[in-house]
Structure 1
């Protein structure tokens, strides 16, 4: 179930995320660092080269994809995460409840198009739009398994 306006609104969210991520790639070279680490305690992604942290980003977890289940799992439904890393994911669920959008309120979203990466980016785009975030980041994928982060702030280290 979803309102009539949602498909177009979602498409706009995807376009907006593409523009935001292009800017993050240009300004911070996101996606090109040789290493990244996630610090759960500080809710930060640390991007490094040759052992030196170059860029830090404050993030929230949107969700993750699983090749085994061929689905997306919202962070708010994953009991492995502490509450403080899924505040924005809970906002997405609340938006879905308010507007009767099933894919935002169901624990799992099935990959009907057989492209988990596309599904992950699409749902992350919706989360970024709802939460007015700067962009999103996907952990390097391991055969369809990936984690998607909502970027709240970002800066050069040091």
Structure 2
């Protein structure tokens, strides 16, 4: 049994509806190839939702080890656990359009710090799903628990990584 103090609370980087990763229209996420987690589907009227822009925030405190216009990875202080936030599906094809970086790769950031400003509506208008997979990279089976389901606000708990 793992030590409860070792649990890492992973927060929602955006507001929307939390659903199983199996709902993501990309097998890399839906089949758990990169790890378990939760998908957040942005919705109109929720902190920017589909209509306007919103900030995607750091889901944990740690080091911003990877930063792209459409995705980022924060490594926990223990340097054993990284959390991937991917803004939309196939959004790399947008070449940064509709995304503004608010932090710098390599920075130490606190949970809740804005990392990227983006427009789920623009992503959808470009024919890309605006779903946001939040993944515990390479986590062991059963390591992710207390998965959120339903409406979540930015900064609320999405899951716990043990």
User: Normalization by structure 1: what TM-score?
Assistant: 0.29
| Structure with the higher strand share, 1 or 2 | 2
Indicate the structure (1 or 2) with the bigger Cα radius of gyration: 1
Question: Which protein, 1 or 2, shows the higher relative CO under an 8 Å CA cutoff with sep ≥ 6?
Answer: 2
| Structure with the higher helix share, 1 or 2 | 1
User: Normalization by structure 2: what TM-score?
Assistant: 0.28
